Amino acid sequence: MATHDANLSPGRRMKIPAATKTRHLRKWGLPVETLVLGLTLLLWIVMSISTSTFLTSNNVVNILRQVSIDSIIAFGVLFPILIRGIDLSVGSVVALSGVVCATLLTMGLPIPIAIALTLVLGVAIGSLNAFSVYRLGIPAFIITLAGLQAFRGGAFLVSDGTSVFGLPKALSAFARAEWLGIPSLFWSMLVIGLVLHFILSRTRTGRYMVAMGSNHESARRAGINIKRIVFFAYIVSSVTACIAGMLLMARMSIGSPTAGVAYELNAIAAAVVGGASLFGGRGSVLGTFIGALLFATIANAANLLGIDSFWQMVATGVLIAAVVYVDNLHKRRQSGMK
């Protein structure tokens, strides 16, 4: 997956995006993603040597399960970030979708219908966010911060403040299932990741998003349908959060209104550590996955090494700061070289 340099003029990018990408790949490689991938691999190697429990099929399957839901949310959040927006509501949407889907299921609705209705909810939330940003001109940070509160409140209202219990056993059976030794949750993440990767790298919509994030005004002048792109980005973000919410619900076998607290921040951190720029126009699905994998590995390693839970939080914070700093250094050098 390519990184996208915000310094390029959008006009030029739109004419020959593929060629530009390849040249940059050759010239600079994959800066942050490479660094983070290196860090993750290093951590895996160190853990494999220093503990006998890390590189066991059981533990690897655990990490894959743990990274799946976080990655799916992070993939979604990447889309608004690409167009220089943000979506802070996804953590609350995870809770709301889990609680809504669980309530529908306990009312006796068949599983496919409950899932479909919950996805419709995701489309509605995404459309609402996009409408507020595009038509009402409310800053994305503010409107999705409002959503973070409102949707969490909605989750409490729907569930009457407590967990929704009594889901069909088929759901937890799905969440626990493995296929070819790989957990179903990870397969779900792979499918969603591949679809979103394809959209970003192979479709016009994807290229327009990157162009728009790099330079909003030029993109508009170049005739890109900004409205369509904004709606697409926020709907992707909400719908993936709904999918993640339902997967989490299936895995926990309860719809919990407290699920997903602060997940939006983990998702944004994964995207940023994976090479996304909060100023838009830069970021990738693969990089985001690597970012999420690094965080999941740190959490797992801390547990296996018995490192204090609080030190683990500190370490994660320091790591985010360090990675973004190194990335900035790299970018500065890049523009210097020009």
Partner 1 sequence: MLKSTPISHRLTPVALAFTAATGLLMGSSAQAQDQDITIPVVIKATTASYWQAVFDGAHQAADKLGIQIEELGPANETEVARQISIMENLVSRQPSAIVLAPVSNDALAGPVEAATDAGIPVVIIDSGVDTDRYASLIATDNFAAGQRAGHALAGCIEKSSGNASGEVAYLRTNPNGESLVSRDNGFLDAMKQYPDIEVVDNRVANNDTAKAMNDTLDLLNRYPDLKGIFADNQLMGDGAGTAFAEQNAADDVCLVAFDSSELEVDFLRQGVIDSLVVQDPYMMGYSGVWFAYAASQGVALPRSVDTGVHVATTDSVDEPDFTGLLDPKQRQLTPYLAPTGSADSTDSN
* Spatial separation of the C-alpha atoms in residues 316 and 269, rounded to whole Å: 10
Least distance CB 137 / partner 1 (angstroms): 31
Q: Which of residues 47 and 229 has its CB atom nearest to partner 1 in the complex?
A: 47
H-run or E-run covering 137: none
Kindly state the smallest distance separating residue 251's Cβ from partner 1, in Å: 7
Angle between helices 226-252 and 204-214 (to 10 degrees): 110
Q: How far is the CB of 160 from partner 1 (least distance, A)?
A: 8
Any idea which residue has 């973070």 for tokens? 148
323 backbone dihedrals φ, ψ, rounded to 5°: -65, -45
CA dist., res. 56 & res. 59, Å (int): 5
Interface positions with partner 1 (CB under 8 A): 51, 53, 56, 58-59, 62, 65-66, 152, 156, 161-163, 165-166, 172, 175-176, 248, 251-254, 256-259, 261, 299-300, 303-304, 306, 309-310
Whole-number Å distance between alpha carbons of 61 and 72: 17
Q: Which is nearer to partner 1, 152 or 197 (CB)?
A: 152
**Smallest gap, in angstroms, from Cβ of residue 212 to partner 1?**
34
- Residue 163 C-beta: closest distance to partner 1, Å: 7
Least distance between partner 1 and beta carbon 58 (Å): 6
Six token digits for residue 130? 């996009």
The DSSP H or E segment spanning 254 is strand 254-255
∠ at Cα 218 (216, 224), nearest 5°? 80
- Choice between 240 and 256, CB closer to partner 1: 256
Question: Is beta strand 254-255 parallel, antiparallel or unpaired with respect to 164-165?
Answer: antiparallel
